[in-house]
Amino acid sequence: MKPVAIFRYLPIEGPGYFATFLDNNHIPWKLIKIDTGDEPPVDVEPYGGLVFMGGPMSVNDDLPWIEPTLDLIRQAIAREIPVLGHCLGGQLMAKALGGVITQNACKEMGWGAVQVTQNPVAHAWFNDISEFETFHWHGETFSLPESATGILSSPHCKNQAFAIGIHLGMQCHVEMTERMVKDWSDVNYQEIIQMNEPTVQSPAEMEKNLSDRVEKLNHVADRLYAKWITALK
């Protein structure tokens, strides 16, 4: 099996639980560290799938790796090589396929419920799950590409996930580990405590019942990732 290429944009926003899932299923993977100067590959052929993680930048920023990344996503989808996006990664997928990335009505930072959309595509990904608590960390949102089906939403962000066949783009973070939650809240502590938005939790709130929350989220991630890997090349 070809390795899965995982694109990282910030050291503390790595693959998290997704890497654990791949290891548990004996699937090889390669980390491409955009944050340290790695460049996106020109050709998708060496990889069995592409996975894009989160990051603090916007896909609308003038950064040298964005256009090559968008081209790579389009290339993978054209060749039916599965693509998976988390937050920034989901926005990259949306933009590559004709979606628009804009400011969300509010920032979402911390734990919050999301609802599974009532349609056959969503059911194929989530089966009997109708709602779950996940982690959020974003100020922007994507519109749905023309070919996509919305499969997840929240009260503060209509488009939380979309699917196109086996390709899955998410605004929320299902890849979280306990360590990641603590690192994000620690690094951004000053910013968080200065915000006065009901959709932004304090570090203490983010870390409340953390082990239980992460364990439950891992179970949801297991279901999504298990479906996604069925199409790996």
**What is the end-to-end Cα distance of the chain in Å, rounded?**
6
Q: How many residues does the chain have?
A: 233
The pLDDT tens digits of the residues spanning 45-80 come to 999 999 999 999 999 999 999 999 999 999 999 999
Residue 20 pLDDT: 98
The answer, yes or no, to whether residue 148 has pLDDT greater than 90, is: yes
Structural domains counted in the chain: 1
Whether the Cβ atoms of residue 166 and residue 226 lie closer than 8 Å to each other: no
CATH value at residue 22: 3.40.50.880
What pTM was computed for the model? 0.97
The answer, yes or no, to whether residue 102 has pLDDT greater than 90, is: yes
The answer, yes or no, to whether residue 164 has pLDDT greater than 90, is: yes
Rounded CA separation 177/170 (Å): 17
The answer, yes or no, to whether residue 82 has pLDDT greater than 90, is: yes
Distances (CA, A) of 194 to 135, 186, 189, 199: 20, 14, 9, 13
Q: What is the mean pLDDT of residues 97-124?
A: 97
Strand order in the sheet with 4-8: 29-33, 4-8, 49-52, 83-86, 167-170, 157-164, 149-154, 101-116, 131-142
Residue 189 pLDDT: 86
Between 212 and 189, where is the model more confident? 212
What does the mean pLDDT of the chain come to? 97
The residues facing 51 across adjacent strands are: 6, 84
Tokens for 71, please give them: 């081209």
Domain region containing 15: 4-231
Give 195's pLDDT tier (boundaries 50, 70, 90). confident
Residue in 138, 173, 144 with CA at minimum distance from that of residue 159: 144
The answer, yes or no, to whether residue 26 has pLDDT greater than 90, is: yes
Residue 209 pLDDT: 98
Tokens for 152, please give them: 């997840």
Name the H helices within 25-163: 66-78, 88-96, 120-126
The answer, yes or no, to whether residue 193 has pLDDT greater than 90, is: no
The answer, yes or no, to whether residue 24 has pLDDT greater than 90, is: yes
Coil/strand/helix, residue 139 = strand
Residue 19 pLDDT: 98
The pLDDT tens digits of the residues spanning 8-23 come to 999 999 999 999 999 9
Give 197's pLDDT tier (boundaries 50, 70, 90). confident
Residue in 149, 33, 25, 155 with CA at minimum distance from that of residue 99: 149
Residue 208 pLDDT: 97
Residue 144 pLDDT: 98
DSSP readout, 182-231?
HHHHHHTHHHHHH---TTB--HHHHTTTHHHHHHHHHHHHHHHHHHHGGG
